[in-house]
Structure 1
Amino acid sequence: MGAYEYLWMQPGMSVRRMAALLGREGAWLPSELVPQDKARETWAEVIAEFERRGVANFGVRLYGAWTYPACLRDAKEPIGGLYFRGSWDLAESPRRISVVGTREVSPEGRDRTRKLVRQLVASGFTIVSGLARGVDTIAHTAAMEFGGRTFAVIGTPISESYPRENAALQEALANKYLVVSQVPVLRYKRQDYRRNRLFFPERNKTMSALTQATVIVEAGETSGTLTQARAALDQGRRLFILESNFHKPGLAWPAELERLGATRVADFSQILEAFA
């Protein structure tokens, strides 16, 4: 993992370049491409950062290693590695579904999210979201409230939290459930914050790959949620769009995604039927 972090520190490195470097079939481990002393030095920096931020327990998954999740290979550009805190078993639970949407959720969207999550939990689904403001936060908190399972795929390193007001929620998920991050610790720390924004849409692609389906509760025409929607279709995952989105003036994306294979959901039974 130190070698992986070292590769991310090289100029011009991106998810696409990393995927090409490691090879889709896992022919290379990062440690085969980086001098051992450099990998160890870099890893020492990562551990020092974790200690400074109070991250005591974590795990890793690395492309090319036997523990790497097979489902992530369905991504167009599989990520090279990830960190996690909590129980990895949740990422391998039988029914995993992403509930995502806008940060600026409407009161109606809030109610729909809670109702949907309550139904999903009652049907044995693990709720996955991105810990962002709005729909994501409601999905996680509702899943916990209704006694379900949930985990977050975040767009920052596991040693950071965004938004800041969700720091306590992230810690609760890490302690009782699961938090997953593909974001390289040192690259994130050292580069300009504006470039770090690029990790969020990449996070959405990974969230889609880790789950069997994505449900969009509510989203605007330029929402980052649509990155996950298109990734889900590319990866052969189910994509559900709540009916209410089709009746909002000015939204073109619901009809466009329906033409590409998404399912318009007017009743919860449609989701159950798709999984049956």
Structure 2
Amino acid sequence: MMNHLNEQLLKLHYILPLSWQKFQKLMTILEDFDKMLHVSPKILALHLKIKEEKAIQLLRHYKELLPKSITSYYEQENIHAIPYTSQFYPERLKQLYDAPSVLYAKGDIQLLNKSKIIAVIGSRGATSYSEEVLKMLIPPLIDEQFIIVSGLAKGADRLAHEATIGYGGKTIGVLGHGLFHHYPKENIELSKHMASEHLLVTEYPPYVGVQKWHFPARNRIISGLSEALIVTEAALKSGTLITTELALEQGKEVFAVPGNIFSEQSRGTNKLIKEGAIPVWNGFQILQELQMFSKYR
């Protein structure tokens, strides 16, 4: 029964990638996905808040997919499709009010449910300062079996993934697009290596391309998977600060690396410290702080 439900959910999500919250609203009129084709396009459009023409198109595509096995398709592409109803879906992400309905992954999916996951993020324009800082931050975390998660963007994200791999740790890259695409192009080889030896994960079906608004959305998954968040460098107007806000809303600890007061890329991190982020300059501090927080929770 559960396999049937998962298959139906994957088919519908392939056509229309909705959050789990929206799928639950859909279930209030369907009871189960078998009744999907018996719902009028008008009612479907009303509940999903889409145009009726799009609802008609959705129903047509869903009907076309019904006789096919989308699970087998993903298996052929070496893609793990993990619906919200799966035992492999991360418990931490279920705490999000807009949790993804499905996660698509390549690599070692067991990393998703490890208890020790910490995010390391920063500016796309990160300087050599981030690279040097990571030499102090990453090794102690890896020694304690922490998984490092970041966004596989250029700059600080790339440096975090590479440092983790270089020191023998495991890393997760959260993408803002489907697994059939690579972005940015300078990270293609890193992406392929992580898909084989580590983990890539996204909430978007494989065919979905790169869209600017996807990246702020994927940030909630980076913070959602993590026990805490570390920021190496960030300008005052930076997408990195969006992720820190999400982490704070989710009740996560935020660590920030102090920087040169004359550096544009440290103005954001210095501001975070002023606002209450914990200043850190080596990984042992982070471990001590996390141990203290877990003790008093």
1:29, 1:197 → 2: CA distance? 35
Aligned to 1:270: 285
User: Which of 160, 173, 178 is the matching residue for 1:157?
Assistant: 178
Partner-residue secondary structure (3-state), 1:3 = helix
| C-alpha spacing 1:103/1:251, structure 2 compared with 1 (3 Å) | closer
Deviations 1:7-27 (A, max 9, x none): 23xxxxxx6xx3442249x98
The equivalent residue for 2:79 is 58
Match of 1:215 in 2: 230
Preserved CA contact (<8 Å) 1:150 1:177: yes
Shift of residue 40, structure 1, vs aligned partner: 6.2
Q: SS at the partner of 2:189?
A: helix
User: Percent of aligned pairs with the same residue?
Assistant: 27
> Given the alignment, which residue of 169, 184, 205 partners 2:220?
205
Alignment of 1:6-21 (within 5 A): 6-8=15-17, 18-21=19-22
Offset of 1:102 from its aligned partner?
0.9
Q: What CA deviation, in whole Å up to 9, does each residue of 1:102-134 have, x standing for no partner?
A: 111112222112332223222321111111111
Q: CA RMSD in A?
A: 3.3
Map of 2:95 onto structure 1: 74
Relative distance call for 1:270 and 1:250 in structure 2 (3 A) is: closer
Q: Could you tell which deviates more after superposition, 38-47 or 87-96? A: 38-47
Distance 1:116 1:30 in 2: 48
- How much does 1:63 deviate? 2.3
Q: Identify unmatched segments of 5+ residues in structure 2.
A: 1-9, 38-58, 292-297
Separation in structure 2 between the aligned mates of residue 250 and residue 179 of structure 1, nearest angstrom: 27
CA distance in 1, matches of 2:278, 2:105: 31
Correspondence list, 1:1-276, <5 A: 1-8=10-17, 18-23=19-24, 31=33, 34-35=36-37, 38-39=61-62, 41=64, 56-186=77-207, 188-189=208-209, 196-244=211-259, 248=263, 253-254=268-269, 257-258=272-273, 261-276=276-291
Counterpart residue identity of residue 287, structure 2: L
Q: Could you tell me which residue of structure 2 aligns to residue 11 of structure 1? A: none
Q: 1:224 is matched by which residue type in structure 2?
A: G
Partners of 1:250 and 1:128 in 2: how far apart?
Answer: 21
Residue in 1 that maps onto 2:51:
none
Change (3 A) 1:74 1:50: closer
Task: Label 1:259 to 1:23 Cα distance change in 2 as closer, same or farther (>3 A).
Answer: farther
Are 2:259 and 2:269, in contact at CA under 8 Å, matched by a contact in 1?
no
After superposing the two structures, state which structure 1 stretch, 245-254 or 117-126, moved more.
Answer: 245-254
Contact map agreement 2:148 2:171 (CA 8 A) in 1: yes
CA–CA distance in structure 2, aligned partners of residues 203 and 100 of structure 1: 13
Number of corresponding residues: 258
Residue 243 of structure 1: SS of its match in structure 2? coil
CA distance in 2 between counterparts of 1:77 and 1:162 reads 24
TM superposition score normalised by structure 2: 0.75
Contact 1:131 / 1:140 at 8 angstroms: preserved in 2? Answer: yes
Structure 1 counterpart of 2:11, which letter? G
TM-score, normalization by structure 1: 0.80
C-alpha contact (below 8 Å) 1:63/1:79 kept by paired residues: yes
| Structure 1 residues 266 and 116: alpha-carbon distance in aligned structure 2, compared to 1, 3 A threshold | closer
Bigger drift between 37-46 and 118-127 goes to 37-46
Contact conserved, 2:259 with 2:266, CA < 8 A, in 1? no
Match of 1:12 in 2: none
